[in-house]
C-alpha cells in the first residue's frame, strides 16, 4: 500500500498537539471528528488514568514511507502518557483520490 490512514483518538482539546506533530513529521493535513468514549472502571484501574468521555478523532492520510515517523511523533506529543491520553494506529488505504500528485479523476476499473 502506498498510503495509510492514521487514526488518532485523543481527549477533546488536544488535536492541535496531534496535528503539529504530524505536520512536523511530513503529513499534509488531517480531519477532526467529535467523539464520545466509553471506558470502564477496569481500564481506569489498569492504566491508572481517568478516562474522559469527550474525545476527538483525527484522521490523517500519509504515504507509507513516513507512517512510522508520524506515529512516533504523535505518540510523544499526545500519547497515553500525556494529558491528551491519545492512542493512534494505522490502517492500509487501497485507493485514494485528491492526494497531492495524484490524478483528480477516478480511475474506472
Domain borders along the chain are 3-93
Predicted confidence (pLDDT) per residue in 34-65, tens digit: 998 776 666 666 666 666 778 999 999 999 99
pLDDT over 90, % of the chain: 62
Contact (CB, 8 A) for 54 and 9: no
**Domain 3-93 of CATH type 3.30.70.120:** yes
Asked if pLDDT for residue 26 goes beyond 90, the answer is yes
Residue range 63-79: mean pLDDT, rounded: 96
Check residue 109 and give its pLDDT: 47
Amino acid at each position: 500500500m502506498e498510503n495509510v490512514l492514521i487514526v488518532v483518538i485523543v481527549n477533546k482539546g488536544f488535536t492541535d498537539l496531534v496535528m503539529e506533530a504530524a505536520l512536523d513529521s511530513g503529513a499534509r493535513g488531517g480531519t477532526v471528528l467529535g467523539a464520545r468514549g466509553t471506558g470502564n472502571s477496569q481500564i481506569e484501574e489498569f492504566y491508572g488514568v481517568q478516562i474522559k468521555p469527550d474525545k476527538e478523532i483525527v484522521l490523517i492520510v500519509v504515504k507509507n514511507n513516513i507512517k512510522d515517523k508520524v506515529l512516533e511523533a504523535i505518540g510523544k506529543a499526545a500519547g497515553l502518557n500525556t494529558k491528551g491520553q491519545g492512542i493512534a494506529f494505522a490502517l492500509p488505504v487501497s485507493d485514494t483520490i485528491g492526494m497531492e500528485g495524484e490524478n483528480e479523476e477516478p480511475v474506472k476499473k
